[in-house]
Amino acid sequence: MALVLNTNSYAIIADADTYFETRIDNANWFDASDDIKEQALVTATQIVDDNAWIGSAVSSSQALAWPRKNAKYYDTRMGFHITPGEAEIPTMVKTAVYEQALHLVNNEDLLTGSTQTFENISVGSISISDANGDVTRTPMKNSLVLKAIKPLVARGSTGQGGSWWRAN
């Protein structure tokens, strides 16, 4: 399925390109084909959308979590509470999708859960060496994604729909 704005993605390629024009470390985004960018934006939306958000969906038939109603949050920069309109996708959500899409482009094996590093790679006589068998884990969401959506995620959420409480 192709990218369909607000059905399977919160962003389109043109908006992501505009976002990345002024961002450092953007080369991999601009080197990617439009097909890869589209796939990254759709997959990033799925990953970002899987949060316990504040408020509730405007309609039971909407494909994505946003827009939402009763989604009031405190904006630390502005110093007051903001309630997004019921037809609005907050910029923070779109920013998280852009950053997650780039994270996917930069880490092609991210969805498999592991990447492997090699100590020696040769081209002449083709040789790959992995003496220590190291496999590193790259987090599914990078810190920029988590930071962008923090005010919009329900407090106490574990990401599994549950909460934890501390009794003193």
pLDDT mean across residues, the chain? 86
pTM to 2 decimal places? 0.79
Give the per-residue SS3 of the chain: CCCCECCCECCCHHHHHHHHHCCCCCHHHHHCCHHHHHHHHHHHHHHHHCCCECCEECCCCCCCCCCEECCCEEECCCCEEECCCCCCCCHHHHHHHHHHHHHHHHCCCHHHCCEECCCEEECCCCEEECCCCCEECCCCCCHHHHHHHHHHECCCECCCCCECCCCC
Domain ranges for the chain, please list them.
13-59+66-113+132-152
pLDDT in tens, 10-26: 999 999 999 999 999 99
pLDDT in tens, 78-133: 999 999 999 999 999 999 999 999 999 998 877 876 555 555 566 677 765 655 55
Mean pLDDT of 47-60: 96
